[in-house]
Amino acid sequence: MRRRGNAKGILILGGALAVIILLIISLFNGRKSPEEQAAEAVHQFYTYEQDGTFSESWEMFHPLMQQKFDKGYYIQDRAHVFMNHFGVTTYSYTLSEPTKVTNWAMEDGAEPLEQAIKFAIYKTYKGKYGNFTIVQDVYATELQGKWRILWDYNK
């Protein structure tokens, strides 16, 4: 004699197992790598800079960077240098591929960061003095669940 209840139980168990496998796959596919997360943060920072919302970009700085510039000074000076001196209102930019770095320090004497992601950023300006590109190394590191931006001051 065959028992019909077993077939129903097997189907339910198989369906539950399939759902669990799909959830695990979606979790791993949805999770971005540290390099991807760092790139998103750098893009956000430079989008703020392009838009002239320097208060927002200043907020994305690592605390070591925030110590270098008073927020009000940064907002005023950033706009002054790029818009007034260079005669540009915005710029385009591209990022290099990310590179993981360990024990990197922003400047001599600073506490090294355990891990950071380095990018070269190429900012192209078109202004009253012609077209020019500035290349700058930019670092992103995760601090308390948020990606923070640093510049290199090593000599």
The chain-wide mean pLDDT, for the chain, equals 87
CA atoms within 13 A on the CB side of 101: 21
Total number of domains in the chain: 2
Based on the fold, state whether residues 9 and 74 are members of the same structural domain.
no
Q: What is the extent of the structural domain holding 13?
A: 1-31
- Cβ atoms 45, 65 nearer than 8 A: no
The answer, yes or no, to whether residue 2 has pLDDT greater than 60, is no
Based on the fold, state whether residues 42 and 109 are members of the same structural domain.
yes
Instruction: At 69, list the tokens.
Output: 């510039």
What's the mean pLDDT in 133-139?
96
pLDDT tens digits for 70-111?
Answer: 999 999 998 888 777 777 877 899 999 999 999 999 999 999
Give the whole-angstrom CA distance, residue 105 versus residue 82. 27
Q: What is the 3-state secondary structure (H, E, C) of the chain?
A: CCCCHHHHHHHHHHHHHHHHHHHHHHHHHHCCCHHHHHHHHHHHHHHHHHHCCHHHHHHCECHHHHHHCCHHHHHHHHHHHHHHHCCCCCEEEEECCCEEEEEECCCCCCCCEEEEEEEEEEEEEEECCEEEEEEEEEEEEEECCEEEEEECCCC
Based on the fold, state whether residues 85 and 138 are members of the same structural domain.
yes
The CATH number linked to 109 is 3.10.450.100
pLDDT tens digits for 21-45?
Answer: 666 665 655 689 999 999 999 999 9
Structure confidence at residue 133 (pLDDT): 93
Based on the fold, state whether residues 65 and 112 are members of the same structural domain.
yes
- Cβ atoms 39, 47 nearer than 8 A: no
Based on the fold, state whether residues 104 and 78 are members of the same structural domain.
yes
